[in-house]
Structure 1
Amino acid sequence: MKKGILLLAILFVFSCKNETKSNGKLNVVTSTTMITDLVKNIGGDYINVEGLMGSGVDPHLYKASEGDVTKLVNADVIFYNGLHLEGKLVEIFEKMDSDKETIALADEINKKQLIVSEYFASNYDPHVWFDINFFKQFVEKVTIVLSEKDPINAEKYRENEKRYLADLNKLDEDVQGVVDVLPKEKRILVTAHDAFNYFGKAYDFEVVGLQGLSTATEAGVQDVQKLAAFIIDKKIKAIFIESSVPKRTIEALQAAVKSKGHDVVIGGTLYSDALGNAGTAEGTYVGMYRYNIKTIVSALQ
């Protein structure tokens, strides 16, 4: 469905009465898998949660489908990342703002703490969930909103918040412990696109992405050759594929390094813009982060 038609459909349905919630719970719609997992941790069984995006879905390129219209229309609240991560959905969320409570969670972060980026209309790198402290701000905002919308269960939401924040604090400690075994000179992370800059800033990694910050951009031959020379110069042992980005760009980079008489291995697949499959450890934010750091450090040692 073309964007213009979809917008008209959404605006038309908004003029009609929303369907009644069959179980009396809040209907919550989320954009990315990271936010979906967060909201489920806070809301638990007290809310209905529907995520627009699934495992392996690239939010930079995601286009709302006809099936998404019903989810959006019947939502009591919508949580999304913001900072133009969901590029194709931004106009839809903005159109809905006067009729629905739409929350861009990245608005909670002090802009002075964000990484400036010329690749996005927001002028900031939107991959903020890779800073665990920023993700904890998401948790706090979600808890406040759910508590205000559903005061009867507010205490349950606050209990879940306390538990989940403890999990995130433990995650941060464990990640730092794994990173500490890797010498500073080996902390260079080369991936398909620059999704990991906040991770790099938090844990002292130099991060280089072949495609820049958005997967909507394409890497050219000169980009590949320049990065290949960088890998050789820095004696980097491994480069990484991302689950939501086609692997051909990293394979081309590996081939370019080999053509110059050097070798670099593909150290594994990292989860960047989406979590792993539902029902797996990597299908949760905490599990994804633990998997990523283990994969990175093991390959670069």
Structure 2
Amino acid sequence: MRRRLLVGLIVIVGASGCTAPASLSDRDGRLQVVATTGLLRDLVRNVGGPRVNVTSLVPDGADPHSYEPSLRDVRNVVYADVAFSNYVMLEEHSVIRALDANLRPEAANVSLAEEAVKYAAEIIPLVEDVTLDTVWLGLRARGDGKARGANRASEVLLSMTAASGPGNVYGYLTGSFGDADVYFDSSDGFNPGDGYGDDTAILPSDAHTHMSWAFTRPGVYEVTLSARLRVDQRSRPVPLGESKFTIAVGVQPPDRPVQVDRGHADLTVDLDREQVYALFDPQGGGEKAQQVVPASDAVVVVPSKALSEIPAGFGFLGRPGDRVYQLAQAVLGKHVHGEIDPHLWQNVRNAMAYTQVIRDTLIEKDPEGAREYRRNAEAYLAELDALDRYVRAQIDEIPATRRHLITTHDAFGYLAQAYGVSVAGFVTPNPATEPSLADRRKLTETIRNLAVPAVFLEPNLAARSSTLTQVAGEQGIRVCPIYGDTFDGEVTTYVRMMRFNADSLRDCLR
């Protein structure tokens, strides 16, 4: 219900914006800019200087992957002259929707990661850690739906409309701090409604998300998923297809051409074909490695080893200590994303490309400030160039055999590629299950085999990283801080963040 109310709120405030002044620049003479994250806010501030008033939607310390915008955030969007998002699906979709639904038509709306490619930014594919010993079963919206008029603010609604079997079926996301966002729950019936129902997951077009699944009893289940597309908040959703999936839980699976029992699979809405089917790769690769499997040809296998106890805090599954069969999500946290790693700024050269996009956008909206924007950008680019050399120099002090990074969050692929660090693994224990002995053994063996002297935790995720800290303690190695995509009271600027990370890597791995 909270999601439904928020969407209505955004539309109402956006509609009222038509009576607002052209922008707050009419009041204080400054260009009004809204950025999605504090990191982008800092880049804009360095380029815009005193001519710009910039705010961020996602507060420092919050997770941009899951933050829901407030009324104050929407008001800032209504009055903005310019909006900067990272996009490539870094931000929670409701943040992007708040921008696109409430910006005035004449305001600039810039996706920095996409525009930065024109300024020589390098992008890399998102490689996820699918080391689970059961299939990772996610959801995907495939295709852009442009034939239907879809854009980045459009929503694909994937609803569970029927489920049969010996027990109840649940589909949910486990957040970075252990909170659960329940999308599918067969225990109370189904009511997808006209738009947002209690059993509906919402995705942008051409995106996928991690999911956890739970089944309360062994046996064969049949689950029906129906897909719809809502082009914008004024439109009624239109149907995209429906399919019935078979799931064998703790029993011999029925005879089907394809057993979905390992690797990476997504229950997929195809916006262009207007079909619902499974995408499956038993080796756990990305979308390009996945093959289309019609729902009638597939059986999803949940083995007996998936039996686990319900922990405290997950009462929607039953009483703590009761046992359920669970397919855990492969990566902790609410990450709805595409195939591109969105954390471009971990390579400082990419942040320099962002800076150039910001400079040229501000000049276009405020030509009178062109000289000042160019001067500020030139000075900041020189500072970033020195920062790039600093990060490289610190990591160069680490012997090549010790440049192994183990973290809680897959946010450092660009840092690894740009500065010669190996991502040995990112540890993302699912708090909806107790970490298995196999999970701990894999982590322990990785640390021992690579002689890793330290592991790294993002401060805002440290509270959910008990397995990593416990194993590090058992192995007598350090636990060191590293920052991914948010600031806090100690690290308040991008330059400070990257210097901090470089120093932490050097001190803890050298």
TM tier, smaller:
0.7 to 0.9
Deviation at 1:124, TM superposition (A): 0.9
Partner of 1:13: 16
SS class of match (2:28): coil
Deviation at 1:247, TM superposition (A): 3.1
Partner of 1:274: 486
Q: Which structure shows the higher strand fraction?
A: 2
Is 1:198 matched up with 2:414? yes
Partner of 2:124: 115
Deviation at 1:231, TM superposition (A): 1.3
Aligned pair in 2 of structure 1 residues 257, 194: CA closer, same or farther (>3 Å)? same
Structure number with greater Rg is 2
Deviation at 1:86, TM superposition (A): 0.5
Partner of 1:132: 348
Is 1:103 matched up with 2:315? no
**TM-score, length of structure 2 as denominator length:** 0.53
Partner of 2:43: 38
**TM-score, length of structure 1 as denominator length:** 0.88
Distance 1:294 1:85 in 2: 26
CA contact under 8 A between 1:211 and 1:218: conserved in structure 2? no
Q: Which has the higher mean CA deviation after the structures are superposed, 50-59 or 285-294?
A: 50-59
Is 1:55 matched up with 2:60? yes
Deviation at 1:168, TM superposition (A): 0.5
Distance 1:6 1:264 in 2: 49
Q: Which has the higher mean CA deviation after the structures are superposed, 121-130 or 225-234?
A: 225-234
Q: Percent identical across equivalent pairs?
A: 30
Distance 1:217 1:105 in 2: 35
Distance 1:202 1:218 in 2: 35
CA contact under 8 A between 1:224 and 1:256: conserved in structure 2? yes
SS class of match (1:247): helix
Distance 2:115 2:431 in 1: 26
Aligned pair in 2 of structure 1 residues 247, 162: CA closer, same or farther (>3 Å)? same
Aligned pair in 2 of structure 1 residues 48, 216: CA closer, same or farther (>3 Å)? farther
Q: Which has the higher mean CA deviation after the structures are superposed, 94-103 or 200-209?
A: 94-103
Aligned pair in 2 of structure 1 residues 239, 219: CA closer, same or farther (>3 Å)? farther
Q: What is the number of equivalent residue pairs in this alignment?
A: 292
CA contact under 8 A between 2:78 and 2:103: conserved in structure 1? no
Q: Which has the higher mean CA deviation after the structures are superposed, 19-28 or 169-178?
A: 19-28
Aligned pair in 2 of structure 1 residues 110, 141: CA closer, same or farther (>3 Å)? closer
Amino acid at match of 2:33: V
Partner of 2:368: 152
C-alpha RMSD of matched pairs (Å) = 2.6
Partner of 1:256: 471
Distance 1:113 1:28 in 2: 26
Structure 1 gap ranges (5+): none
SS class of match (1:50): strand
CA contact under 8 A between 2:88 and 2:342: conserved in structure 1? yes
Q: Which has the higher mean CA deviation after the structures are superposed, 289-298 or 106-115?
A: 106-115
Q: Which structure shows the higher helix fraction?
A: 1
Deviation at 1:109, TM superposition (A): 3.8
CA contact under 8 A between 2:20 and 2:79: conserved in structure 1? no
CA contact under 8 A between 1:276 and 1:288: conserved in structure 2? no
Distance 1:219 1:155 in 2: 58
Q: Quick one: which of 416, 427, 431 aligns to 1:210?
A: 427
Distance 1:38 1:72 in 2: 18
